Amino acid sequence: MERVQLVASLTAPPSSNPTEMEKLPETVTWLQVRSDLVGDISAEWLRSHFPGKLLYSLRSRDAGGEFEGPLSERYKRLASASQHYDLVELEAGSDLSQELLSVIPPEQRMIFQRTTAAAAFQLQSRFEQISAVPARFYCIVTTAAKTSDGLQPLLFLKTLGRKDTIAFPDGICGLWSRLLTPYFGAPFLFGQLNSATSRSHEPSIRQLIGDYGFPVLRPLRKLYGIAGNPVFQSLSPRLHNAGYRALDYPALFVPFHVECFDDFWREMLDASLLGSLGVPIHGVTIVSPYKEEALIAARASSPMVRRAASTNIFMRKNGIWEADTTDPESIASTGWKLASQNGPVKAAVIGCGGAGRAVAAALKQAGAEVTLVNRSRERAARASSLLGLPFVSLSEFQAEGFVLIINATPIGRQSDGPPFAINSLISDAIVVDLAYGTHPTPLVSGILARGGTVIDGHEVLLSQVRKQFRMMVGREMPTVPPEIVFSGNSRNFFSDNTPAESGTLT
């Protein structure tokens, strides 16, 4: 199979004991040193800790970096780096002088161009300008203000048909497109070396390998994804893509950070450009804040979607986008099976967003006595009217008397405490927490500490993903592979002890 060259970007000064650099997998073949961020580091020292090749970058402000020194200093540092590094990044706007080109040979040059141009023909024009100077590689970075801005770099790369050019959109809205560029000829894929210092829209090397299976480029004929805001920290791509690899299924699951759902619908789902590129979108999971808004675009919807006025999955069937939801089956049923063993179920659903309403509707349909709980009385009143269920304000809620409680809010995801007083729970209550984080949420920790029964967000997520996988692919999701560990209260999915990122299923 084809492979892309993985580049680990060093954007924070390395410690005297650079274990993260030394533990990089052999599949990471390049180390990019962002000298504008970390200063000039001895190439000899770097090679003593990293066996691959070295790329020197001194990004200016105009190129999205931090270097602001005089041109004379810039030229001196670039020329010096060329004596020790395998590749030197030269900015098209300032570094293509004869003075520098005379000391940095073509085989050491990566010509870099940052542009606001979005259309493929504009990128082609930029490329024609910079490729007039011989170089080993060319890199064009665009800006992405919306999800659909990622389409044009892919179209440009496909039309160009070269193996020496990288083009991708910067910014969190363009991450999905960056992940696809290797399939259109881009020779490099950049990831942050240190995930702890990564910018919020920059994938880490560990994510590129663990979540998306790089550097191997497996056959790709279908695209799936998760659409919402935010979605960058979601564990769904890791789980879905692991399932695809286990089945040799020719698909990739990517995160679509959506600022405007209308744009996402028109340009990404309803339009056919991705199909013309050979990677049509076949399914998308929908998360906050678009579970209601997305319904306007759906051509068909399931009875539960219509009842709860909420969707969390779109699937293309016979050319039509259909809205469905996996919230009831994967969330309510888990707690319901435990709670209903002891007779009638009195349940409280905290949160009247899309997931909360779908869960409440399913519980009511199953025969539970359901009470809605929400901070905002306006949203609670709407959900109450929609579902025909009573509601109370979160500030007035007391858990005593409820045998099943579902937290369908992001409250408690990190360290803001549980959404209600845990000491008011009855001893045999079952609690389902949709929120999850690096460590067990305060709600999960508190209930476990008092010997109670709780189902945490990671377990709910896995149940959701299994259902979504079956709906999208038409096959059962394989057993979670060995590289994805699912154990302990923190539900760590990572084999390298990297903590799971935070998220919520609301």
- Please count the other Cβ atoms lying within 10 Å of the Cβ belonging to residue 437: 24
AA identity, residue 338: L
Q: What is the pLDDT of residues 422-442, one digit of tens each?
A: 888 998 899 999 887 777 888
Q: In which residue are the tokens 């000491």 written?
A: 423
What is the strand order of the sheet 346-350 is part of? 391-393, 369-374, 346-350, 404-407, 430-433, 453-455
Q: How far apart are CA 231 and CA 316, in angstroms?
A: 21
Assess whether 76 and 203 both reside in one domain.
Answer: yes
- 203 burial class (0-12, 13-18, 19+ CB within 10 angstroms)? buried
Q: How far apart are CA 313 and CA 302, in angstroms?
A: 11
- 334 burial class (0-12, 13-18, 19+ CB within 10 angstroms)? middle
Interior/surface letters 243-277, b for 16+ CB within 10 angstroms, e for the rest:
bbbeeebebbbbbbbbebbebbbebbbeeeebeeb
Output the DSSP codes for 255-304. Answer: EEE-S-HHHIIIIIIIS-HHHHTT--EEEEEE-TT-TTGGGGT-SEE-HH
φ/ψ of residue 192, rounded to 5: -70, 135
Task: Tally the domains of the chain.
Answer: 2
- In-domain check, residue 398: yes
pLDDT of residue 435: 83
pTM: 0.91
- Residue ending a domain, among 216, 249, 277, is 216
3-state helix, strand, coil in the chain (%, to 5): 40, 25, 40
Q: How far apart are CA 180 and CA 224, in angstroms?
A: 12
What is the token pair recorded at 500? 């799971």
Assess whether 207 and 341 both reside in one domain.
Answer: no
Q: In which residue are the tokens 């810039």 written?
A: 74
Q: Name, in order, each residue with C-beta under 8 angstroms of 418's C-beta and a sequence gap of 6 or more.
A: 411, 412, 441, 442, 443, 446
- In-domain check, residue 364: yes
Assess whether 19 and 154 both reside in one domain.
Answer: yes
Q: What is the pLDDT of residues 408-420, one digit of tens each?
A: 988 766 556 888 8
What is the token pair recorded at 291? 């579970």
Q: Are 141 and 114 in contact (CB under 8 A)?
A: yes
What is the token pair recorded at 54? 């070295």
Q: Are 314 and 321 in contact (CB under 8 A)?
A: yes
φ/ψ of residue 212, rounded to 5: -125, -5
Residue ranges in the chain modelled with pLDDT below 50: 482-483, 485-502
Three-state SS at 142: strand
Three-state SS at 56: strand
- 83 burial class (0-12, 13-18, 19+ CB within 10 angstroms)? exposed
Peptide bond just before 289 cis, omega within 30 deg: yes
pLDDT of residue 272: 82
Output the DSSP codes for 240-258. Answer: HHHHHHHHT--EEEEEEE-
What is the token pair recorded at 96? 């293509």
Q: How far apart are CA 495 and CA 128, in angstroms?
A: 44
- In-domain check, residue 8: yes
What's the start-to-end Cα distance of the chain, in Å? 38
Q: In which residue are the tokens 């004991």 written?
A: 17
Assess whether 62 and 210 both reside in one domain.
Answer: yes
- Residue ending a domain, among 216, 231, 256, is 216
- Look up the CATH number of the domain holding residue 157: 3.20.20.70
Assess whether 204 and 339 both reside in one domain.
Answer: no
Peptide bond just before 169 cis, omega within 30 deg: no
- In-domain check, residue 427: yes
- Residue ending a domain, among 185, 201, 216, is 216
pLDDT of residue 498: 33
The range of the structural domain enclosing residue 347 comes to 334-460
What is the token pair recorded at 368? 């539970």
- In-domain check, residue 263: no
Assess whether 339 and 192 both reside in one domain.
Answer: no
β-strand pairing of 216-217 with 2-3: antiparallel
pLDDT of residue 41: 95
- In-domain check, residue 117: yes
Q: Are 220 and 211 in contact (CB under 8 A)?
A: no
Assess whether 202 and 339 both reside in one domain.
Answer: no
pLDDT of residue 18: 82
Axis crossing angle, helix 354-366 with helix 377-387, rounded to the nearest 10: 40
pLDDT of residue 437: 72
Q: Are 483 and 210 in contact (CB under 8 A)?
A: yes
- Look up the CATH number of the domain holding residue 447: 3.40.50.720
Q: Are 7 and 85 in contact (CB under 8 A)?
A: no
What is the token pair recorded at 210? 């663990």
- In-domain check, residue 493: no
- In-domain check, residue 194: yes
